[in-house]
Structure 1
Amino acid sequence: MAGVMANPEKLPWTFGIEIEMLFVFDEEKIRTGPAYQYILPEKFVQGDGDDLKTDLDMKLVHNLDDDDVLRKISAMKQAANILRHKGLDLALHVKPNNQNKKFNRWMLTTESHVLDPQDDDQLARWSEGRLQDSEPLSFHGVELISPILDAPNLHSNSQVESMSEIARYANVIAEASTVDEPYQFISNPENAGVHVHIGLRPKDGKQVSIPVDVLRHLAWIIVCFEDVMTLLHHPERHGYGETKITSRSNRTTFGSRQWAEHHSCRALDMEAVFLRIFTKHVTDDQDLSNLKEVMCSTPTTYVHPHYTKFWFVNFFNIKPGPEVAKLTVEFRQHHGTLDANDLREWVIFVTALMRTAERKANESKTKQWKEAAGTPNAELEEKAKYSGMFDGRRTLKELFDLMGLPIERRSYWWERAKKFRRVVFTLERDYDALVLCLGGCGDRPQRDCEGWAHGELDLQPW
C-alpha cells in the first residue's frame, strides 16, 4: 500500500538516468573513410531488444514524412554502431518512449527536445571548437536511458556499482567525441538536459508505489527550497524566458492562474502551500490523486493537457495508470552534460532529497498541537517538523543541514553555485536581464533565498 511506512529510512531506493545528446556526423567522411565503415547504417546488426518500428503517431507528432523517418532510422543505427563498437551494451529504440518497461538494460532512443545549433558560432561553442562548419553535418537528437540501478549511499566513500556504470557510459561517449572523428555527441546546458528518475525497487516483478507521506514531504521541500536548488544549476536551467527550460517552476501551480506570473511578481504564502500539499483524504489513492493535482496541474487557459510532466520536478508518475510506465519522481532541472562527476553528484543529491523526505515522514512528532479552526491536527504536527521555514529567506546551509550533506558534498555544490553565478554575467548572454514571468509584467525575478545577490555566496554553507 502506498501509505505504509514500515522500516523507517530503509526503503530500497533505485534510480534511472536519461542523458540527452545531439548526435552530429559527417556522412560523406564516414562513407569515404576506411576506418569508419563499421558505422554505416547497412552495417547495423539488429539484436535482442532493438525496436526499429515506427508508427503514424511518430510522423504526426514530429511532422515527419517517410524520407524523414528513414533518415532518422539511418542516423540512429550509426549512433548505435559507434557506441557498441566502443564497448557499450545497449538496445536501440527508434520511436521515442517506446521503452522496455522492465528497464533492465541501457537503451538509445530519439529525443525531439534536443536543440540543433542555429549557426556556426553556436556549433563551435557547443563543440568546444571541435566543429566549425555545419554545412556538411547532420544533426539528430538522441537520448541514452539507463536500466533501473541501485541508488548510492550519501555517506559512503566507495562508489556503488551503479555509479561506476554511469561513469563508464558517460566517459566512453565523451572520449568518443574527439576532434579527429567525423562524429560528435554533444550534451551541454544550451542544447540538452539530464533527467533522473527515483523510485523503489520492483518486487515480484511489479513496480512499487512510493509512500504518499514521503511524496508529501518531498513536494514541500521541493517548493520551499526551489530557489535555493536553482542556484546550483546553469542559468539555462533557471526557468528564464528564451532559455532551454523556460518557465518550469514547480511553484506555478500554487500562484496566479496566469502562466508562471506569480513567480516573479509576488511571494508565495508558504503556509498555504504547506496545507495544500498535506491535505489528507480518506484513502491513499485519493491522496495520490490530490498530490498529483497539486504538483502537476497547469492553468488550462494556457496549457493542454491539464497535467504537465515538465516542471523542474515531475510528480506525474506517482500514481499508477495507463500512461505511467514507471512509478517514479523525475528530477528534470539538470543541464545536459557528459561529465561523469557532475552526473554522479546530481544522482547522489536527488537520492539524498528522497531520503530526507523519507526521514521527515517517519520523524516522530515531538510537539502536541491543539486543534486549530479548520486545520486538522495531523497537518499541524507535520508543520512542526519545519520550524522556522515559513518566514524569511532560505539558504544553502539550511537546505544542506536538512539533507544532512557531508562537507565534501556541500563543498562541491557551493563551488558549483559560485561558478554558475559567474556564468549569469557572461558576455555571450546576460542572463540577469532575463525574466521568469511570461504573464506580461516584465519584472525581474524575485528570489526568496540568499545567494542571488553579490557577496551572498561568500560564506561557506557549513
Structure 2
Amino acid sequence: MPGQISHPRRPVPLQIDVRNEHAQPSQRELTGSDQPAFHDQPVRQPPPYGSHLDTPASSIFSPPLYWRYFSPKEPMSLTFGIELEYVFAFDRSPRVGFEWIGVDGITDEELFEEEEEDDLALSYDDESEPATGVNMDVDVHQPVVFSDPHSCARIGQASTTMFVTQSVLEQAGLECTAGERGYESWNIQADGSIDEPKNLSKYLPDRLDSDDECDWVMSGQELVSRVLAAPEDLSLNNFTSSNALQEIACFLKALRGRPRDPFGVFVNESCGFHVHVARESQDMDEMIPLPVLQHLAYLLVQFEELINVLHHESRRCRSDFDSHYVETNLMGIRRSTHWCRRVESTDLSKAQKKIFHKDMTPAGLAKLMDACLRPNMDESGHVVLETRYKFVNFEPLMYEGGAARTIEFRQHIGTLDFDEIAHWIHFILSLVRTAERMATWNDRVGVGSPCSTMSSSSPLLVSFRKRQANKYQLRCAKLQDEFERMYDLLQFDDNVRDYWRRRFVRLNPAEWFRVEVDADGIEHIMDGEDRCPSCNDW
C-alpha cells in the first residue's frame, strides 16, 4: 500500500534540519513518491537501535559537553621543569683548596662496584670529538669498545658520585638534593641510559691531560629542576631574563665550573634534555584542559616533520640507528615515514576525526599520541610497548596519587648551552600557548572564512571538528612557507625566527639552501622556486 515501507527493519534515513536541529524521515520513505504527504499520513519514528544516522545535529555542529565545561575561561598559569642529562667527572685527589668536594673519605668499595666487564668505561671510537655543549657532527652509533681500567677514568657508582655533584652545587650557594623524589627542590639522580666514554681528556681538555685520567671518576647523571613558573610574557628578552631562566643559568654555571677545576660535566649523544609543562596547581592534580591538549596534538600532527629538522639527526626517528628513546607521535595517525624537501601530505582529515572526536578523553588522547608499534624488551625479558619514549610524551597525564600531570617534551639532544636551553623552552611554551589560544578562539570559522578551503557566500554550517581544524591556515607545499606558517602561529618575532632559521641550516648540511636578505634586511631560506600559491592568496 502507498505509504508503507517494505523493509521495516531498515533504518529510516534522516534529513537534518539545521534550523530546528531535529530529524525528519524522507518523503519517499513515507509515501513511496516525491509528492507532498497528506496530513493524515503517519510519520514513522526513527528505529530504536543505534545508528550513526541517529546522531543529533547538536553533536555534529556544536561543541561536545567536555569542550563546554573544560575550556579555560581565563589565561592559564603554566609551570615547567627541566631534566638535564650529562656525565659528571671529578678528580679523586683534588688539589689544595678543594677539600670541600668531600672525596677523601670515599673508599673504593663505596665508589666502584666489583671489577666486572660492565664496570669498564664504554666509549665511542677514538675519532669521537669532545662535546662541551653539544657536538652536532659525531655519529651517535660508533663502535663501542672496552677500555683498560688502569689507564683511563673509571665509572663510579651513581649512588656515591651524585653526592659529589651535590657538594659542587652547594659550594656555589645552590640548594639541591641527591637521590630523592619530588619537585620542591633541584635534585640529582642516577641515569643508566648515558654512555660514559673513555679518553675523558678529550671531553674536558681544560681540566686534565690523558696522563691524569686514571685519577678521575665519572658517572651518568640527571639534574631535575624544581617546579618553575613560566612567565606570561613570552617575548624572548623578557623570557630569558625571567627568574626561572636565571635560576637555570646559575645551575649551569655551577655545574660547568671553571678551567682547571678538579671536576667537570659534558654531554654526548646518549644524553637528552627534557622539558615538562603543566598547569599551575596546588596539588599537581589539575592538568592542562583537554581542549588545549587536543589543539596541542593537532599542532604536533601538522608540524612534527618541521620540528624534527630543527633537532640533531639522531633525534628524528628516521632509522634504527637513531636514539630509541624518542619516537614519532604520529603512529596513531598512520602516516608514512618518508619526508624530503616538500612537506609530507599527512592525512589531516583523519587526524581531525581522531583528535577532535566527540567522546575524546585525556586517556584516549594519550593513547592516540603515544601509540607505539616497535616493541622493546623489559628487564624480565618480556616484550613491551614503550609508550613514553615519544617526541612528546602524553603518558604523565594519566599519573595519579600526587604525581605531576605534565606533558613531557623529550626530543632535544643533551646540552649545557644556556642559549639552546632557553630557545627550546621558549619554543615549547609558545606551542602550548598557541594551543590555548586556538582552543579558546570562539569566532565562527567555516565555509567562506580565510582558513577554509572553500569559498561561498552562503553561511553553511561546518562540523565541530572541522571548525576547529579550520582555525589554521592551509598547509603549504613548500618547506620555507610551512616554516613561516608555524612561526606565525607561535608569534615569533624576527630575532627568534632568525635563530631557528640558522639552526635549521646548521643541522641540515646535506640540503641545498640559499640564504637571501629581503628589502627589510631579514634573512630567508630560499630554494629557487616561486612562493606557494596558497600563501599568495593571503
After TM superposition, the score normalised by the length of structure 2 is 0.64
Rg larger in structure: 2
**Pick aligned residue for 1:4 from 61, 64, 70:** 70
Which residue of 2 is the match for residue 236 of structure 1? 314
Cα distance in 2 for residues equivalent to 1:139 and 1:127: 12
**Matched AA of 1:149:** L
Which residue of 1 is the match for residue 363 of structure 2? 289
Taking a change above 3 Å as real, the CA distance of residues 340 and 164 of structure 1, as seen in their structure-2 partners, is same
Cα distance in 2 for residues equivalent to 1:25 and 1:70: 10
**Matched AA of 2:71:** M
Cα distance in 1 for residues equivalent to 2:205 and 2:408: 30
**Pick aligned residue for 2:168 from 58, 76, 82:** 82
Which residue of 1 is the match for residue 501 of structure 2? 414
What per-residue deviation string (whole Å, max 9, x for no partner) do you get for residues 209-267 of structure 1? 111110011111112111211222222323344344566122233337xxxx7456986
Which residue of 1 is the match for residue 184 of structure 2? 104
Which residue of 2 is the match for residue 401 of structure 1? 488
Q: What is the CA distance between 1:6 and its match in structure 2?
A: 3.4
Cα distance in 2 for residues equivalent to 1:382 and 1:414: 29
Cα distance in 2 for residues equivalent to 1:43 and 1:278: 60
Q: How does 1:244-255 map to 2 (within 5 A)?
A: 244=323, 248-255=327-334
Q: What is the CA distance between 1:381 and its match in structure 2?
A: 0.9
Q: How does 1:119-198 map to 2 (within 5 A)?
A: 119-120=198-199, 123-127=200-204, 133=210, 134-152=213-231, 153-155=233-235, 157-158=237-238, 159-174=241-256, 176=257, 178=259, 180-188=260-268, 190-198=269-277
Check whether the contact 2:78–2:280 (CA below 8 A) recurs between aligned residues. Answer: yes
What per-residue deviation string (whole Å, max 9, x for no partner) do you get for residues 61-104 of structure 1? xx99xxx99933221121211221122211111xxxx511xx12
Q: How does 1:63-82 map to 2 (within 5 A)?
A: 71-82=157-168
Which residue of 2 is the match for residue 448 of structure 1? none
Cα distance in 2 for residues equivalent to 1:164 and 1:267: 41
Which residue of 1 is the match for residue 286 of structure 2? 208
What per-residue deviation string (whole Å, max 9, x for no partner) do you get for residues 51-70 of structure 1? xxxxxxxxxxxx99xxx999
Cα distance in 2 for residues equivalent to 1:331 and 1:11: 19
Which residue of 2 is the match for residue 35 of structure 1? 97
**Pick aligned residue for 2:512 from 432, 454, 458:** 454
**Pick aligned residue for 1:114 from 194, 201, 204:** 194
Q: How does 1:321-336 map to 2 (within 5 A)?
A: 321=400, 325-336=403-414
Q: What is the CA distance between 1:277 and its match in structure 2?
A: 1.7
Which residue of 1 is the match for residue 475 of structure 2? 389
Q: What is the CA distance between 1:301 and its match in structure 2?
A: 5.2
Q: What is the CA distance between 1:354 and its match in structure 2?
A: 0.4
Check whether the contact 1:108–1:145 (CA below 8 A) recurs between aligned residues. Answer: yes
Q: How does 1:426-441 map to 2 (within 5 A)?
A: none
Q: Please say if 1:348 is aligned against 2:348.
A: no
**Matched AA of 2:290:** V
Which residue of 2 is the match for residue 221 of structure 1? 299
Check whether the contact 1:192–1:244 (CA below 8 A) recurs between aligned residues. Answer: no
Cα distance in 1 for residues equivalent to 2:515 and 2:358: 38
* Structure 1 stretches lacking a partner, 5+ long: 45-62, 426-452
Taking a change above 3 Å as real, the CA distance of residues 380 and 80 of structure 1, as seen in their structure-2 partners, is same
Runs of 4+ in structure 1 over 6 Å off:
none
Q: Please say if 1:299 is aligned against 2:373.
A: yes
Cα distance in 1 for residues equivalent to 2:447 and 2:482: 28
Taking a change above 3 Å as real, the CA distance of residues 307 and 99 of structure 1, as seen in their structure-2 partners, is same
Cα distance in 2 for residues equivalent to 1:196 and 1:268: 26
Cα distance in 1 for residues equivalent to 2:266 and 2:415: 8
Check whether the contact 2:325–2:390 (CA below 8 A) recurs between aligned residues. Answer: no
Check whether the contact 2:207–2:263 (CA below 8 A) recurs between aligned residues. Answer: no
Check whether the contact 1:167–1:344 (CA below 8 A) recurs between aligned residues. Answer: no
Q: What is the CA distance between 1:325 and its match in structure 2?
A: 2.1
Q: Which has the higher contact order (CA 8 A, sep 6+)?
A: 1
**Which secondary structure does the structure 2 equivalent of 1:395 belong to?**
helix
Taking a change above 3 Å as real, the CA distance of residues 274 and 139 of structure 1, as seen in their structure-2 partners, is farther
Check whether the contact 1:314–1:331 (CA below 8 A) recurs between aligned residues. Answer: yes
Cα distance in 1 for residues equivalent to 2:242 and 2:80: 13
Cα distance in 2 for residues equivalent to 1:369 and 1:149: 42
Cα distance in 2 for residues equivalent to 1:287 and 1:249: 21
Which residue of 1 is the match for residue 82 of structure 2? 17
**Matched AA of 2:98:** Y
Identity fraction in percent: 25
**Which secondary structure does the structure 2 equivalent of 1:386 belong to?**
coil
**Matched AA of 2:87:** L
Cα distance in 2 for residues equivalent to 1:135 and 1:224: 51
Larger CA deviation: 304-313 vs 342-351: 304-313
Q: What is the CA distance between 1:146 and its match in structure 2?
A: 1.1
Which residue of 2 is the match for residue 445 of structure 1? none
**Matched AA of 1:250:** N
RMSD (CA atoms): 3.3
Q: Please say if 1:319 is aligned against 2:398.
A: yes
Which residue of 2 is the match for residue 438 of structure 1? none
**Which secondary structure does the structure 1 equivalent of 2:278 belong to?**
strand
The count of corresponding residues between Structure 1 and Structure 2 is: 382
Cα distance in 2 for residues equivalent to 1:346 and 1:392: 24
Cα distance in 1 for residues equivalent to 2:295 and 2:306: 17
Cα distance in 1 for residues equivalent to 2:156 and 2:86: 20
Taking a change above 3 Å as real, the CA distance of residues 187 and 87 of structure 1, as seen in their structure-2 partners, is farther
**Matched AA of 1:4:** F
Cα distance in 2 for residues equivalent to 1:456 and 1:267: 25
- Larger % of helix: which? 1
Taking a change above 3 Å as real, the CA distance of residues 292 and 144 of structure 1, as seen in their structure-2 partners, is same
What per-residue deviation string (whole Å, max 9, x for no partner) do you get for residues 191-224 of structure 1? 3111110111113x34311111100111111121
**Matched AA of 1:388:** L
